[in-house]
Every structure is written in C-alpha cells, then in structure tokens.
Structure 1
C-alpha cells in the first residue's frame, strides 16, 4: 500500500452526511454487521464529527452534516444472501425500493431506503459474464422495458 494512503481505507471511501447520522450508523451495524473502526469522534457540542465503519472488507465514513448540507448515499453492498439482508433491513424499518431479483449482469440484487433517505443496494454475485453477454442482456432488458411502457401507456 502506498505511504500516502491510509491502511484502514481503500482508494475510494464513501461518506454519508445526514441528520440523525447515528441512526444510520446503528442501521448499518444491525443490517450489515458493520463494526466501528474506533469510537466515534464527537464535536464539543456533542454532534458526531466522524465515524468509520468496516462492512466486510470496505470502510464507509459517517459525519453529521453542516446545516442544510446533507449528502445521502447510494451504497452498493455485496452480501452472501440478498434476500436475507433485505428482510433484515425491512425488519429494521427500511422501506423497499426493489425486491432482489436476477439481473442480466450476473447479480441477484435489490434495494431499500433507510430512515434517513440513504439507498442501500444489496447484491449476491451469481455468475461471471463476458462483456458481450452483458451487452446482449442489456438490450433484451431495454426491449422488455419498452414493451412494458407501451402496454401501460
């Protein structure tokens, strides 16, 4: 690892900045078995300054936002069982966005939204596909969506 890079993080680390950020942290701990790297760093006024959590082999950072500057996340997480993780999230109060299903790009995935507005997309990898196979699947998916739009409208 290069000397300029933190040994605790990948080259790219997402940051979520939402009101009630501690609720988002608890949600991620409960649903993804996330573990805080260190105790959260708090501001002198009691607000969260920074927290880092490990989910699997990845790190995500959480901060309380400056007033009016929330930055919600769309986080894609690989999990062993997308159905079980989605159920766990819904049981924890998340709202469904899309039920997990087989996708043309070799993943079984779906998503949900937590109480602070973050979208979490969970995926279980099913198969490695060539770029050509993915392209073919994408075109078939587009045709299916166009047909559905014609029928509904």
Structure 2
C-alpha cells in the first residue's frame, strides 16, 4: 500500500491508492460514524486504529473510489466535531448513479434531510443530508451537460427566483 511499483525508487509521495485530497472527519463517536457510513453510503474496507482509551484514533474507509479518514473528537488535540462546534462550513460531495435512491438510503440509515433531491441548473440532480455526526453531504447524479452560457443564464434565473 502506497509503495511505488519500482521499489528502488522508494515510496510514492502520494500513496497509489489515495487521491491528493482526502477528507479527514472528526466525529463524536467515530466508530458509530463508520457503521453509519457503511449503511448510508455503502462505505467499505474500513480500517481502524484504536487508541489506548479504546476510541478511534484513526480510521479509513472507502466510498466509491475515494478514501474518507476519521478520528474521534479530542479537545486535547484541538479536534472538535461539528456537534461541538454547532455546525460545519464543509459539505462532502458524493456523486452516485441514482441521487434519489442514495438520498433515501441515507435517510433510512439515520441522516436528516436538509434539501430533497431536485434537478439543478448546473445539470445535476442534487440533494443534501446531514449525518448524525453533524457532517453535511451533498448527493448528486449528473443528468445533463450544461454549457457556460446556458449555465450563466440559468444561474441568473435561479438567483432571481
């Protein structure tokens, strides 16, 4: 994992199974969050390292082809969850084959609906849920390509509505 195919070259600066940007979520009850992400988003391959206190020090799971890392909330490490902070300014964007089905699956697993899926001017069917750990997930399926001029006009109409 993370080694270049040519061992003489040394390890790859970005592990071969990772992307350059990987979300690393701080959760109150990070172990519960792993279970939720498996049920809600079909996450798989969860790896975990528990700390001496038995709480998740580091976890990693896969949603589609992307890794999501997790850790337990720990004020001593300045790692606060959205629950402690009273919200989050970050959305995690999840592209799926069927936004409506994925949205419903997340709701059934315990997420809260923020915005039900709708066709958006930029060409996606798009909705938003909040997971039980305070993180917001936009869930989308790209349904049509929209050119720059059409998008500007549609955005102006959307903003005026």
Q: Can you give the 5+ residue segments of structure 1 that lack an aligned partner in the other structure?
A: 145-153
**The one of 113, 124, 147 aligned to 1:107:** 124
Distance 2:51 2:45 in 1: 17
Task: State the shift of 1:43 in Å.
Answer: 0.7
TM-score by length of 2: 0.82
Partner of 1:142: 159
Task: State the shift of 1:8 in Å.
Answer: 2.1
Distance 1:5 1:69 in 2: 24
Structure 1 residues 1-153: aligned runs within 5 Å: 3-37=12-46, 39-67=47-75, 69-72=79-82, 73-144=90-161
Distance 2:28 2:43 in 1: 20
Q: Can you give the 5+ residue segments of structure 2 that lack an aligned partner in the other structure?
A: 5-10, 83-89
* Runs of 4 or more consecutive aligned structure 1 residues displaced over 3 Å after TM superposition: none
Query: Secondary structure of 1:40's partner?
Result: strand
**Contact kept? 1:36, 1:51, Cα under 8 Å:** no
Task: State the shift of 1:36 in Å.
Answer: 2.5
Distance 1:51 1:77 in 2: 19
Count how many residue pairs are aligned between Structure 1 and Structure 2. 143
Q: What is the root-mean-square deviation in Å for CA atoms of aligned residues? A: 1.7
Distance 2:45 2:80 in 1: 21
Distance 1:83 1:23 in 2: 24
Partner of 1:149: none
